[in-house]
Structure 1
């Protein structure tokens, strides 16, 4: 038995028979989700509040003075209770560590509000979009959310631990902990090492990731890890050295997570089949059988989140979109993306599209009603001829739309423009003023 397996087996054997069975069930997707009633929630929230008052934590008091409604919000506190299976003492500790680390990594002015994309630097937004985090579209047989942390990207190899932690704050709290299934069932985390052989010898990626997991398990995020699968490709690295490094990372984790961790090594194909044996759906994985990233499905989870959270500010993402977003999703910079949400609206191809159609608005509106479709056909032809593609998410993949569908969208743009004709057109449509005055958003229907 290798060193890593000895650590994991020891952690499992040290549990009581009941806890050991729970851990094994969690790993093999037959665990139980959290059960709660209205009465239990009401009672535990009241006890949670009393425990918080007894704590008299200075960071918490700072947050209360800044924004009482934030830290006393029912849904905010319920995330921590559920992450700890309604263990009130642990939930309070979790929330206090969350606030304390938020102060450490983001500053005093961010303690009493959620972290936004605009709080992240361009480097951090780039890391978020690089594919390091991915939420699989399908869930496991138990209905749990499956999360990937992938390594090997150039940005991850160069980033500092605090950069990774700041990005993780946004991902784990804003995205993951807001999903009810995550609160009730926890997540299945898959750490998949894609680093180059020379970097794997230095253990750059797993070292950072295990450090992040240790940070998370110090109760910085209200997310419960139900199972952890660490996958490392073999064949180019001394297995003894690799095992020693993985074991060093595993020792950083708490016992209950060690008991739910499985270490897999082999070729990419072997690793993919191993994950299938643990109930991980294969069709919607972010990885191909050869271990490469599926660019067309990358960051779809972020598109969905942004579409559902229209209020979020995106200056950092806007400045980075042209250099990163197109690369990581398989979408070209000059593509026109259809859908809702500011992430779509700020795509460079969408900006070009709106500016082009705006300059031809008078030509379209002045044409007789029967001839407007002809004008729309001509404008669509010019757009496609200049290299722009009309793209839409279809069954979680970006697909190019046919010419007729593209013409319909161009016509819809002008109908929206006419509906807004009684408003300040420049204020609602002109995207070129972003650099001077901040983002100005066009109609949602593009």
Structure 2
């Protein structure tokens, strides 16, 4: 049956829409005469669904709604067992299905572990539910893009002109992650959008855009594990009967392997309660428990969403409640550029073209004075002692705490994408953010150790006056002097003898080289902490450095022998 003519006597629709509809095909929507009765019926539906849950399920749903319970890791044994069970279920139900067609076209694509894991994570590792969804997924994909694209990742090149117009004025956008790091998917609806979905062709284009945006989000393993927060925001009034295109969008969402952890519906007018009640009636009880209705003005809805960890400034809306496309268009441009370069678009979080002061910018190791970076470095400095002394588990905990602090302040972790005069910024995925934060701790420790060593050398050495002489040996990275070249010549000339000596005797050869350089008037120097000042190293420090030169020369020599 086509995606565009399904009725509600089918098993389910989006977000777990259930099959308790009457035989007529669609649930009956009783028109309620006044606003109080509308609210009362809706409250009863939601309360009944919540009361049907066990105490443990209620606690779990509350934690999910508020972002308290967030999945960051995965039990590999659980996933492995679920994958095996998924294969058994698929074998039993795939006969004569679109899934079986896709598998015959490219079994590697269909049976890929990462691809199947998406469906298991979306269904809490329920193999039967995952196998059913995989069949629905390929049916929907075939209807939207045709059989020839069943076993390929959909890109912008697969869109025609109408599809691109719908994508750029998308009814679904990626917004910034919430305070718990969960991806937010923002859906638009309302009477003022009726012109966008007035025909079957425009509905198909809207659905293709919805498929593209959602599947891009799901390329992030972090999003698969943590889940998606779905926000539906109505621009203007809804019709008393559900507007054309709504049910098709819901049905497609049900086929996509997204783990919806919360559904927030923001409405303004009391007339909108009737169609929302219609939606809630056909939802499964467990999905109703994840449903929250926010009623009032844009400011009121933003405040209510903030109590669930959704940052008001992250919503793609202007002050009047109209769609702000700047962020979305930048994301579309970034995806198109990466796809044209043949690069995988694993980073899908949207980012504004101009970073704000709370963002942390990763620029390839360069230290910049951006306000967000200064705050980030201050946090690393404050936690550095605990981090250096902590266990691996403690270090991961500290890194997670720093990331949360940045996100709580409205910041993101961004990196530049591509080249050009104007930087295009994209949001860094969670696992990469964690690695970069840990690297920042290591870099700080190395700089601190080097600084301490220079101070030790200064206290035990002699601070010289003036600039180094040509015959001096200057230790340190990227230091070049005639004295360094002379030392390197002596290392090469005496290397074979050095290698043949016992450890205790090697030091005599090192001292002989030191004497040779000093007899020429050379000194062994290192840069002092103060810029433009130099310290003459004690003899024992100089001996250690020369011995290290011999060891460094040994490594490339061994590589030559191995060839």
The two structures have a TM-score, normalised by structure 1, of 0.63
1:150–1:191 Cα contact (<8 Å) kept = yes
1:136–1:147 Cα contact (<8 Å) kept = yes
Cα distance in 2 for partners of 1:178, 1:2 equals 41
Aligned to 2:42: 4
Q: Can you give the 5+ residue segments of structure 2 that lack an aligned partner in the other structure?
A: 1-38, 344-351, 355-420, 428-563
Question: Which runs of structure 2 are paired with 1:202-281 in the superposition (5 Å)?
Answer: 208-209=245-246, 211-217=248-254, 220-234=255-269, 239=270, 241-281=271-311
Aligned to 1:183: 224
Aligned partner of residue 188 in structure 1, secondary structure: strand
Cα distance in 1 for partners of 2:102, 2:214 equals 20
Given the alignment of the two structures, is residue 89 of structure 1 paired with residue 128 of structure 2, yes or no?
Answer: yes
1:29–1:279 Cα contact (<8 Å) kept = yes
Aligned to 1:156: 196
Taking a change above 3 Å as real, the CA distance of residues 85 and 394 of structure 1, as seen in their structure-2 partners, is: closer
Aligned partner of residue 245 in structure 2, secondary structure: helix
Cα distance in 2 for partners of 1:182, 1:8 equals 27
2:140–2:252 Cα contact (<8 Å) kept = no
Taking a change above 3 Å as real, the CA distance of residues 41 and 394 of structure 1, as seen in their structure-2 partners, is: closer
Taking a change above 3 Å as real, the CA distance of residues 66 and 270 of structure 1, as seen in their structure-2 partners, is: same
Q: Can you give the 5+ residue segments of structure 1 that lack an aligned partner in the other structure?
A: 314-328, 332-389, 397-446
1:34–1:85 Cα contact (<8 Å) kept = no
Given the alignment of the two structures, is residue 102 of structure 1 paired with residue 141 of structure 2, yes or no?
Answer: yes
Shift of residue 212, structure 1, vs aligned partner: 1.9
Cα distance in 2 for partners of 1:36, 1:212 equals 30
Shift of residue 34, structure 1, vs aligned partner: 6.2
Aligned to 1:284: 314
Given the alignment of the two structures, is residue 31 of structure 1 paired with residue 69 of structure 2, yes or no?
Answer: yes
Structure of greater relative contact order (alpha carbons < 8 Å, 6+ residues apart): 1
Taking a change above 3 Å as real, the CA distance of residues 187 and 115 of structure 1, as seen in their structure-2 partners, is: same
Aligned to 1:14: 52
Work out the number of aligned pairs and report it. Answer: 310
Question: Which runs of structure 2 are paired with 1:31-430 in the superposition (5 Å)?
Answer: 31-33=69-71, 35-58=73-96, 59-137=98-176, 139-151=177-189, 152-153=192-193, 155-160=195-200, 161-173=203-215, 175-195=216-236, 197=237, 200-201=238-239, 208-209=245-246, 211-217=248-254, 220-234=255-269, 239=270, 241-310=271-340, 392-393=423-424
Taking a change above 3 Å as real, the CA distance of residues 185 and 44 of structure 1, as seen in their structure-2 partners, is: same
Aligned to 2:434: none
Shift of residue 395, structure 1, vs aligned partner: 9.0
Aligned partner of residue 287 in structure 1, secondary structure: coil
Taking a change above 3 Å as real, the CA distance of residues 296 and 100 of structure 1, as seen in their structure-2 partners, is: closer
> Which of the pair has more CA radius of gyration?
2
Cα RMSD for the two superposed structures: 2.8
Taking a change above 3 Å as real, the CA distance of residues 162 and 11 of structure 1, as seen in their structure-2 partners, is: farther
Taking a change above 3 Å as real, the CA distance of residues 157 and 216 of structure 1, as seen in their structure-2 partners, is: closer
Shift of residue 394, structure 1, vs aligned partner: 6.5
